[in-house]
Structure 1
Amino acid sequence: MSEKKTALVTGASSGIGLELTHTLLARGYQVVANSRTITSAGTLAASERLALVDGDIADQETAKKVVDTAVQRFGRVDLLVNNAGIFIPKPFTDYSMQDFERLVRTNLVGFFFVTQYAIEQMQKQYSGHIVNITTTLADQPVAGVSASMALLTKGGLNTVTKALAIEYAGEGIRVNAVAPGNIDTPLHKNDDYGFLRNMHPIARMGQASEVVDAILYLDAATFVTGEIISVDGGAHAGKW
């Protein structure tokens, strides 16, 4: 088995996932990066320490392939970052069944299978770390930002983070989450940046690198589990 750490990153072709993949590689990690079309996206190139896996992470076969690739190529799974996710904001009564199914499939099912497979491998190693990417809005909704069904799924990830941290603490497996505010990524390319900046007491957009910093802290902080770190310019602190 390799002595280097091996990380799995979903939603890795752009935004936070892409920044994280580059940073992990720069720090010596071996990485398995996934998105629906990661090999054709042109943002990452496979290498000796980087494996690319195409496919929807909500498909059980894709989730299994991500973990199997890590074990076959690099011998272990040390870090799983469940970054793939979607956010559909709209008034509650405007949500369609299609919206609901998309949110559940990507945000929850996409977490479910790959985390199960990763934990099974981590149990064999008696070590491992999972980081879920949620949103600060799950615990601190903001007037004027209607996104209840998106928050239902992301809030569920906050809850399962704590539940799994307790369930697997005795097996050497830690589970944490990072809850970003509005981050300057392609997700917001068509949005009003002025409005988004003012949703934070620190009135600017966050950077993907700042979310990555929180993930790296959690991966190094071996006595921290069940934690949800807000990277949101203070928005989680309350009304301002």
Structure 2
Amino acid sequence: MILRIASVLMMAFLSVAAVTAGDAPAPAMVPAPVVVPATPVEADSLLSDDEKWVFEPSSGRIDPFYNLTLRMKLELEIKPIGDDADVGSLPKFGDNSNWAKAQIQRVQQLILAKKWDDAIKACEVAIKQLSKDQDNEEAQQLIENFKRYRTQAEEAKTYEEAQAKFDALELKIEGILWSPDGSLAVINGEPRARAVNERVKDCVIINIDTNRVDFLFHHNRRRFEFQRYVGEDAKSSAKAAK
């Protein structure tokens, strides 16, 4: 009896399990993830509007990456010369080029001969003559060369004038005295030995070496430095300079 009941219950359980298994929903299909391609980020998109700057040189400012002179030269070369062409705007130089180059050689010789006034005058004449063709690139370069030579001659002339006035002081170093507070210079005509930063006539001592004294001398609102060695005077100094 018990075995029959157990078999009936087992068959009922299997029937319920079969029905339940048949009614179970199928597993839902999970869609594959959609891969969105990455958008490349441009460098400009990371900058603010204020940082997006383009170099635009102002009027009169020289841009090292932009040669205006070369551009103008090329425009003149390709500019058609016809009835409508502005012939007067084309640069004309003529014989001034050869004349100016000869003048440069003459100025160089005058400077080597230390004829400062003649060199300055020659430069001024050349600059005035070349100014008539100052729109020409070669003329501009020659004018700059003459200006440099003129400045060189003027500087040399001023230095020689200052040297002559310093020599006229007739300073002579009799000896150098060592001192724990600084060396002293014994100078002719001075009542006592002089130290650095002390005035001697129209100049100031700026350095005292073991055998030399350096002076600071003013001339035409400019400062010059001159030296005197022990036992040396203006004449012997001039001979040593030559």
Fold shared, TM-score > 0.5 on shorter chain: no
Structure ID, larger Rg: 2
Higher relative contact order (CA 8 A, sep 6+): 1
Measured against the shorter chain, the TM-score band is under 0.3
Q: Under a length normalisation based on structure 2, what TM-score does the superposition of the two structures give?
A: 0.21
